[in-house]
Structure 1
Amino acid sequence: MPASVKGGVGARIAYYRSVVRPKMTQQQLADAACVALGTIRKIERGERGVSDATLEAIANAIGIDPARLRADRGPAHTAVHAALPALSASIAAYDMPQDGPTRSLNELSAAVEQAAGWRLSAQYTRLVRQLPDLLTELSRAYHQAPGHQRQELAGLMVRAYRSADAVAYKFGALDLSARLIELMRWATPETGDPLLAASVAYVRTETFFAAHAHATGLRALEQALDTAPAPTKPSEIAARGALHMRAAVIAGRDRNPSAAATHLDGARSLADHVTEGVYYGTAFGPDSVRVHEVSVAVSLGDEHVGRALDVAGAWKPPSSLPAERRSGFYIELARAQLWSGLGDDAFESLKVARRIAPQHTREHPWVREDTATLRRLKRSDAETLTAFAEWCAAT
């Protein structure tokens, strides 16, 4: 939300109602949120307060995280970090969950899909509030289910663990992230789904990034490529292509330009045979490969950085790509611009990343590092840059 939009929660609701989701009237919002029209009007005028339940309903109707609407909202990392112990406790008892109610398989599937959508749109505060109870319920359902349902429930558990891992990894809880990945690997064989196994291999690369074990991570991905199904159907093509994209990036981090180019070529070739979309929780297609071209160029550094600028000069990620991936593109581009002496352009890219996915941008370590560097180097627009640095806690 632009800094120029002042006021409390009512002003924020009015802003997102009219701008983030154009032409949404007060009546449409009231209908979607199951809140009286008069209540919406009074809240927007600042004539009455709003309960947490009503705020959640309004945010869901607009399609944003409730944290964006709070007039007294604190940094997203505060809410997420406060919820991480509950997330940790929910997986500690994965094999002996507490007794309680369990929804139907269809309802659980819908809840897991909703969580995946929040992950892809980088709505981490919303995600972390729901996940502990969902993970507990899935474990309970899995251990209580008859044999013929356990396979599907195991798949739902893997997908839910992946959403939880996104929060843990992005917010620096690396031990928790590693535990979640191991649980994904534990549950995957039960699903009997080789494409889900490929998805888990993709996510597992985070542990190698975190440990700076890039060569080992590259070997793990190449082993996953060896065992992945032959790419005939779109889902199989996308699974293999996603592994190539990931391998290209980690090869770049390993400063292995030959392997990076080989895997990027593999991803590009496969992307020509599918439409851009989300397959098994990972976006893949021609646009995603272009995003990874920038990432690989930045990972390789030095003379390769110019390639990132070339890609960005001729193309921008479309709004149809998941917010997390689009914001990542601009974060990577900002680093390439900064290294190329384009400080103003780098700051503009960081601001674009913030507009697309504020929580993802604020928690990205490169954003803090590059903002701190810009503060040391930049002389113009110092006030705006300082405000940005305070927002992302750059030192």
Structure 2
Amino acid sequence: MSAEITTPGPGANVKVLRLERGWLQDYLAKRAGMSKSMLGKIERGERPLSQSAGAALANALGVTLDELLGPAPVQAGDEDRLKELRAAMRRFDLPTGEPARADQLEADVAELIRLRGDANLTAVTEKLPSLLLRVQEHAHRTGLPRDWTRVAEVYSTVYWLAARHRWMTMAELAVLKQRQAAERADALTLTVAARDEAGTFLNGGDFGGGLALVDQAIVRAESTLRGRERYLGLNLLHLRGLTLAGRMGEKKAAKRHIKAAQATAEEIDTDVNLQGIHVGPENTAVHVMATYVDLRRFTEALDEGESYLRAGPTLPATRIGPLHMNLARAKLELKDREGAVDSLLTAWDVAPQMSRVHPTSLELSRVLVSLHKRSNPKVTALAKRTGIHL
């Protein structure tokens, strides 16, 4: 196999953007606060581009993190559906005049959330445009908070879909509309909207801004939520907070959010699906494991992840797929390349559509293929799935 994989991907994009500017590695490395050796390994596919390193390089290059990682291409047949979805989003305050049955809407939203949990991006894309128009129409007709919660829930899924593909213009518009709907709903729905809004900061590499937004939302949630809803909302926000802190390398902030997330998860007892997002002990364990990887606590991450899997996970593919990606990250850093390949292939088996577009999956594939200098059936299978030419 070649020493350098030139297939486009997160790490390879760094070199493309650097050469577009006519910069030498020394110059970019200095601007990003990293060694030339580290930058060279990232560009050659000998070391994966982490989100924290990616944010530093994006800032040095004058782009956002999502721009550095590169948007996922629109799949054949989805262009028309995405046009319809954008049109539905524009008509947020323009009712269609077509009545919709409340019971059918409830069933359709439940089906959408199930498809989201399965990480079925194609089916979610197909279902969203019509459903969004109908839930908006119904909420305008009734004006009831529960119906505006349903609108916010659908917009949360629009954000999820757009963020997975790094279509950030759509993602940012989605969270804006989600917040507008949430303001007509209730305090818990507004908390979910704040979590997703902080996600756009995460996607763009502005981890500090996202963390500040989370802290504001926590203060508001503590004063507006009561009972079980309070634990649900706070767990949701602390999960976002620990992820942002981990990406920043802020150990104290990460520890604070981890402790708070675990405490609220104990009160919830069993994971529940809150408007398409899981909160509770299991998802907390999955998030903590990922943050350990971000903080370079690889052995602890591996122990946490494998312990969770031994206990028998019940979370859906949208959470288990990234769990295996993070296991692959930890194993690669611990020099277990074969184990990393196995974990990444498992992520593909669990959530193939997500793995096809997820930057961690793409980057790990690029690096693992590059590092294997001899024929390996598993690596060959991984390269084929990712579209890397050997």
Q: TM-score, with normalisation over the residues of structure 1? A: 0.75
User: Per the alignment, in what secondary structure is the counterpart of residue 283 of structure 1?
Assistant: strand
Partner of 2:50: none
Equivalent pair of 1:375/1:382 in contact (CA under 8 Å): no
Alignment of 1:17-166 (within 5 A): 77-80=75-78, 83-99=81-97, 101-143=98-140, 145-146=141-142, 149-166=143-160
Shift of 1:261: 0.6
Whole-Å separation in 1 of the counterparts to 2:363 and 2:282: 27
**Runs of at least 5 residues in structure 1 that lack an aligned partner in the other structure:** 1-74
Whole-Å separation in 2 of the counterparts to 1:345 and 1:187: 45
Partner of 1:278: 273
Whole-Å separation in 2 of the counterparts to 1:150 and 1:164: 22
Partner of 2:286: 291
CA 1:331–1:223: 2 relative to 1, 3 Å: same
User: Mean alpha-carbon deviation: is it higher for 241-250 or for 224-233?
Assistant: 224-233
Task: Decide which of 198, 204, 208 is 1:211's aligned counterpart.
Answer: 204
CA 1:81–1:351: 2 relative to 1, 3 Å: farther
CA 1:151–1:238: 2 relative to 1, 3 Å: closer
Whole-Å separation in 1 of the counterparts to 2:77 and 2:380: 23
User: Cα deviation per residue 1:208-256 (whole Å; 9 max; x = unaligned)?
Assistant: 1122110111010011111114675333212211211110110011110
User: Per the alignment, in what secondary structure is the counterpart of residue 147 of structure 2?
Assistant: helix
Shift of 1:141: 2.4
Whole-Å separation in 2 of the counterparts to 1:204 and 1:158: 12
Partner of 1:200: 193
Q: How many residues are treated as equivalent by the alignment?
A: 314
Shift of 1:82: 5.4
Shift of 1:294: 1.3
Whole-Å separation in 2 of the counterparts to 1:318 and 1:248: 24
Partner of 1:227: 220
Aligned residue type for 1:270: T
Whole-Å separation in 2 of the counterparts to 1:166 and 1:264: 23
Aligned residue type for 1:105: A
Whole-Å separation in 2 of the counterparts to 1:84 and 1:237: 35
**Bigger-Rg structure (1/2):** 1
Tell me which of the two structures has the higher relative contact order, counting C-alpha pairs closer than 8 angstroms and 6 or more residues apart. Answer: 2
User: Per the alignment, in what secondary structure is the counterpart of residue 315 of structure 1?
Assistant: helix
Equivalent pair of 2:100/2:137 in contact (CA under 8 Å): no
Equivalent pair of 2:166/2:203 in contact (CA under 8 Å): no
User: Per the alignment, in what secondary structure is the counterpart of residue 341 of structure 1?
Assistant: coil
Q: TM-score, with normalisation over the residues of structure 2? A: 0.75
CA 1:393–1:81: 2 relative to 1, 3 Å: farther
Equivalent pair of 2:199/2:240 in contact (CA under 8 Å): no
TM-align CA RMSD: 2.1
Shift of 1:381: 5.2
Shift of 1:80: 4.3
CA 1:285–1:292: 2 relative to 1, 3 Å: same
Task: Decide which of 141, 155, 165 is 1:171's aligned counterpart.
Answer: 165
CA 1:208–1:308: 2 relative to 1, 3 Å: same
User: Cα deviation per residue 1:100-157 (whole Å; 9 max; x = unaligned)?
Assistant: x3221222122112111111221111111111011112222233x14xx432221111
**Runs of at least 5 residues in structure 2 that lack an aligned partner in the other structure:** 1-72
